[in-house]
Chain A
Amino acid sequence: MSVQLSVGQVLPGFTTHLTRADLVRYAGASGDFNPIHWSESAAAALGLPTVIAHGMFTMGLALRVVTDVIGDPGAVVRYYVRFTKPVPVPEEGAEVHFAGVVTEIADGVATVSLEARLAEQAVLGAAVVEVRLD
Chain B
Amino acid sequence: MPISQDHAGCSYPATAPYEVTGAKIAEFAAALGESDNPAYQGTDAIAPPTFAVVLAGAAWSSLFDDPELGLSLARTVHVDQEFRWTRPLRRGDEVSARLTIDKVRVRGTGAFITVSVELATTAGEPVAVASSTLLHQGVAQ
- Docked complex: A42-88 residues within 8 A CB-CB of B: 42, 45-46, 54-57, 59-61, 63-64, 67-68, 71-74, 76-83
Kindly report which residue of chain B lies nearest to residue A27, judged by CB atoms: B31
Q: Once the chains bind, are B49 and A30 in contact (CB under 8 Å)?
A: no
Q: Once the chains bind, are A60 and B73 in contact (CB under 8 Å)?
A: no
The number of chain A residues with a CB under 8 A from chain B is 38
Q: Once the chains bind, are B74 and A31 in contact (CB under 8 Å)?
A: no
B31: which A residues are within 8 A, CB to CB? 22, 25-26, 28-30, 57, 60
**5 other contacts beyond A31-B58, A64-B34, with CB at 8 A cut-off?**
A46-B77, A56-B50, A56-B53, A63-B48, A63-B49
Interface set of A (CB-CB < 8 Å, partner B) = 16, 22, 25-26, 28-32, 34-36, 42, 45-46, 54-57, 59-61, 63-64, 67-68, 71-74, 76-83
* Chain A to chain B: the 5 pairs with minimum beta-carbon distance, closest first: A74-B88, A29-B31, A60-B50, A55-B78, A80-B82
